[in-house]
Amino acid sequence: MGLEDRVALVTGASRGMGRAIALKLAGLGCMVAVNYVAIDDQNRLDADNVVETIMGMGGEAFSVEADVRDGEAVKAMVQGVVDRWGKVSILVNNAGITRDTLLLRMSEDAWDDVLDVNLRGTYLCSKFALKSMIREGWGRVISIASIAGVIGNAGQTNYAASKGGIIAFTKSLAREVGSRNITANAVAPGFIKTSMTEQLSEEIKNSILSMTSLRRAGEPGDVAELVAFLASDAAGYITGQVIGIDGGM
């Protein structure tokens, strides 16, 4: 797939979809920077485990702590990757959170937290990683959006707004950097089995699954396969797109 010797930075890569994406890209030959935020010791241990797994596969990886909301931290993270491997070829904007509740009950903090991590984080990571891609004359920016950003979802006005913003951001970015041989695409997952979705009640899970054509949840590996394709030379003429991976929701 043309990914040998590419350098990938995956945000929020300590678990769930980010972990699956990091492992998939490493398996295809990428050197992978595994980003995590130091919420607790477990998050750090999870990130280290991803790195150890990649190293055990014969790949190259290291973990890097940075809060994607913090511009200086993101700048230092990207520079750290460049210092280690000379470039950033592929950026996967995966870090994201939810603070679900109906709008009338939603606090300003719940709104700000979700927009800051999901949308501001995508902006900051893309901004700093692009400098290396422009210098190299090749790059991939792949941002994890959501089906909620396409069709909306009750109780997730903040989350849907952040993911819809990522979609608009991606389409605009694709127009800005296409002439530099850099593509920008968004992936819009539906119901994927992660620690985030496991917190939902069985009633809500069944309700969501009933809306899918396949009548089942997706796996993090399903998303990783799509991201790997978009990162590859095979997807070199695909940019500014939002690709759903939702089981036919």
- DSSP secondary structure string, 98-135? -----GGG--HHHHHHHHIIIIIHHHHHHHHHHHHHHH
Strands 139-144, 90-93: pairing kind: parallel
Give the C-alpha separation, 96 to 78, whole Å: 18
10 Å CB burial of residue 237 (0-12, 13-18, 19+) is exposed
- Which DSSP state fits 199? T
Query: What b-and-e string marks burial along 182-212, b requiring 16 or more CB atoms within 10 Å of the CB?
Result: bbbbbbbbbbbbbeebeeeeeeeeeebbeeb
Q: Which residue has the tokens 């850099």?
A: 182
237 is an active site residue: no
Q: Which residue has the tokens 């295809």?
A: 28
Q: Considering only CA atoms, which of 148, 145, 147 is closest in space to residue 160? A: 148
Query: What b-and-e string marks burial along 13-40, b requiring 16 or more CB atoms within 10 Å of the CB?
Result: bbbbbbbbbbbbbbbbebbbbbbbbeee
Catalytic residue among 36, 123, 159, 237: 159
Catalytic residues: 159
